[in-house]
Amino acid sequence: MYPLPLPIPIVTPIYVGGSKLSGRTQPFEMRCETCGEYGDYIVKLWANPQVFLGKHSLVREVFGSLLARSMGLETPDISIVEIDSDFYKSQPPDKSLLLSTSSGKNFGSKYIPGATIFSPPVSGSRHSVAVKVFCFDMLICNPDRRVSKPNVFQTPNGFMIFDHEQAFPFSRPKMLVGGYPPGWQYIREAWHKDHVFYSFIRNRDCSLEIEEFVTLVGFLSDDFLDTIEGQIPEDWCSGDDIQNLRIYLANTRDNLNLFKRSLQEMLA
């Protein structure tokens, strides 16, 4: 059984730094405060036109972060960044317009000082966690942890993953003509070969890691998904998006043998 995710803290920005020019969405660096404590965050603003699904992209970020951590993968701590409607007035003009349109709740992940982006190769000591990251991205159908955009930090303790706004594409099934096939079929499509770890783990013995990961997926209960969904700000929810996300994950959970076989054959 998974450990239940802790409640996501709500923080308030007090200062905006620069934007992360290396990221597609160019999130802002923000110093934030909660209960007299301060921290630095990388903040994705829901009104940023580069955040391609607006508030629903932030839903995917929350699901990705909490699900990854509950499955034993390292991710930056996350927070809901509550931006007051007047906050933009105290900030530089080049940031004020976007801040004024992004008032309300936004997604923040804790800034990791000195973090470096993964660069090849994968050492033997990190083979197991690399396989687990690959399997996780197949579970959530994440095409965005790829060779040209790793979205993985290297830390002394292993790998730390981030950026899940393009994962869970099946939450909007109409974005693909005919909808998305079941997970164990969809991951067999060519996109999985561009995963940042794929070339390092295929043709190596991954049987133990696959078995352990599939066992974890089997514990993906509806109650656990309720706990994650309960932490999503109400104004981020629209239509059937979250329900579609949950049904798709549950379908993979309920067909573990098919999902497991796809992983085995893809990495053989």
pLDDT in tens, 188-236: 999 999 999 999 999 999 999 999 999 999 999 999 999 999 999 999 9
pLDDT digits (tens, 9 = 90+) for 110-124: 999 888 999 999 999
Q: Which of 77, 110, 143 is the last residue of a domain?
A: 110
Q: Which of 84, 110, 136 is the last residue of a domain?
A: 110
Mean pLDDT calculated for residue range 139-155: 96
Q: Do 153 and 240 fall within a single domain?
A: yes
Q: Do 95 and 42 fall within a single domain?
A: yes
For residue 250, being part of any structural domain is answered with yes
| Cα distance between residue 140 and residue 135, in whole Å | 9
Q: Which domain holds residue 153?
A: 116-267
What pLDDT shows up at residue 1?
A: 61
Based on the structure, what is the number of domains in the chain?
2
What are 259's two structure tokens?
């999902």
What are 258's two structure tokens?
């098919």
Q: Do 130 and 99 fall within a single domain?
A: no
Q: Do 131 and 81 fall within a single domain?
A: no
List, edge to edge, every strand of the sheet that includes 152-155. 116-117, 152-155, 158-161
Predicted confidence band of residue 6 (pLDDT cuts 50, 70, 90): confident
Element (H, E) at 224: helix 222-229
Q: Do 96 and 120 fall within a single domain?
A: no
DSSP reduced 3-state for 175: helix
Residue with tokens 């404590």: 37
Q: Do 141 and 262 fall within a single domain?
A: yes
Q: Do 158 and 232 fall within a single domain?
A: yes
